[in-house]
Structure 1
Amino acid sequence: MQIITGDLLTHYIEQYPIDDYFSFDIRPYMKVCLFEKGEWIFKEGSYPDTMYYMVEGKAKLYVTHKNGKVSLIEYIEAPCFMGEIELLNEARYTKGIQTVARTICLSIAVHECREKLLADAIFLRRICVFLGEKATAVTAKYTQNQVYPLENRLAAFIQLSSDQGIYKEKHTEICEYLGVSYRHLLYVLAQFCEENILEKTKKGYRIINDKRLGELAQEIL
């Protein structure tokens, strides 16, 4: 993680009006942070004293089960909060969040303003709306897994998870996330290559027909 200094803090606050989410001046408690691709924003089981507001980029949320198996829960896209549950929850042990692209966040030093945050009606209302939207998105994803074919769901997932036009997620991880067999996933990826939607390369799958991919994804949006 890199702390960005200078005029960029003002730039990002002006571009992303996070000030509107608080009744007090949040700027003294805030920094601009840059995470490179593959960096951990939160390591699973850590005890964070920072809340983040992602303004650019995307990340993956993981959880490890008691049997040691690791599951991908969801993809996180900007703009969004991270660490809000840990702020509200007394236990505050976080799940793992890892970037999948270059990501810029506004970090808020929770340990310095916790009482102000927990007493701020404007902030708490915004968090309630945000958590409600997350719950709705999770429900929608579950429903989509039941009623839409893999072609549409995989197209939407590739658009969500690709970085600079390249898709290269782990097959086993995505099979579990989308609720499909390994064989079925490979079949649809091969189908996309035959239709010149994707091209298999050493770095992963390169998107060569973004329009067609978008048309397939649009079916479930």
Structure 2
Amino acid sequence: MVQLITGKRKEDYMNQYSFQSFFSFDISPFVQVCAFEKGEYIFQESSLPESLYYMVEGKAKLYVTHKNGKVSLINFITSPSFMGEVELLNAQKYTKGIQAVTKTVCFSIPYNACKQKLLADSVFLRELCLFLGNKMTQTTNRFSQTQAYPLENRLAAFILMSSDDNFYKEKHTEISEYLGVSYRHLLHTFAHFCQSNMIRKSNKGYEIIDRQKLQELAREV
């Protein structure tokens, strides 16, 4: 269940992340601060989004379900990050699914409260353009890394990025597609990481044993 953070704690979050600086008008009356628990949906897939979110703490995953029932992981979203910005600009009507991977805290601005103010605010639009430009660059870099770096480097970086409380638990089928490798190759690399005592298989998924080794591999990417 989504928790709302109110009162002084809301003010503290606004000040800590300088959220007011993103706007030329007073945004505080329109903003809610929301906390999502791990596994909760920020956006249900194919829904009509009602709010623009700005994630300031936590991680989430963006996915899409195809007509044949296959689920594809599109990207991991890490803070700070806007969510629902494409829908705000009317470039996309229905949202893809976004699910919290860790406990996640977001600023939420309901569209019906001030959509026209947002779209007319040059300060906010500049922030949004910078975010979209960085997002495009990151996507391009990820695809180029698929060709330029071995799987063990990219997998180490992915495990560190997607883990929660020192545990990694993602579906191998989705991750092999996301990383652009065969299922067999992915399993072989996980086995190598376990044999090298970097991770250990458990009932919860994989526990990170040697974070430093993983970081050394990830730094190559």
The reply on whether 1:139 has 2:164 as its aligned counterpart is no
- CA deviation string 1:119-138 (max 9, x = no partner): 00111111111001000000
- CA deviation string 1:7-56 (max 9, x = no partner): 11111111101111111011000011110000000011111120111010
Shift of 1:67: 3.4
Secondary structure of the corresponding residue to residue 7 of structure 2:
coil
- The match for 1:54 is 55
Secondary structure of the corresponding residue to residue 7 of structure 1:
helix
Shift of 1:91: 4.6
The reply on whether 1:84 has 2:80 as its aligned counterpart is no
**Is the Cα contact below 8 Å between 2:173 and 2:183 reproduced in 1?**
yes
The reply on whether 1:23 has 2:20 as its aligned counterpart is no
The reply on whether 1:206 has 2:201 as its aligned counterpart is no
Structural mapping, 1:1-12, within 5 Å = 1-12=2-13
Following TM superposition, the consecutive aligned residue runs of length 4 or more in structure 1 with deviations greater than 3 angstroms are: none
Counterpart CA distance in 2 for 1:129 and 1:146 is 27
- The match for 2:164 is 163
Counterpart CA distance in 2 for 1:34 and 1:59 is 12
- The match for 2:181 is 180
- The match for 1:95 is 96
Q: Which sits farther off after the overlay, 116-125 or 66-75?
A: 66-75
- The match for 2:192 is 191
Counterpart CA distance in 2 for 1:127 and 1:113 is 16
- CA deviation string 1:81-138 (max 9, x = no partner): 1111100016521111000000011111121101100000111111111001000000
Secondary structure of the corresponding residue to residue 200 of structure 2:
strand
Counterpart CA distance in 1 for 2:170 and 2:104 is 18
The reply on whether 1:217 has 2:218 as its aligned counterpart is yes
**Is the Cα contact below 8 Å between 2:86 and 2:92 reproduced in 1?**
no
What's the % identity of the aligned pairs?
A: 61
Counterpart CA distance in 1 for 2:137 and 2:87 is 20
Structure 1 length normalisation: TM-score? 0.97
Shift of 1:68: 3.2
Which letter maps to 2:207?
Answer: R
**For residues 7 and 188 of structure 1, do their structure 2 counterparts lie closer, same or farther at Cα, with a shift above 3 Å needed?**
same
Secondary structure of the corresponding residue to residue 180 of structure 1:
coil
Structure 1 unaligned regions, length at least 5: none
Structure 2 unaligned regions, length at least 5: none
- The match for 2:37 is 36
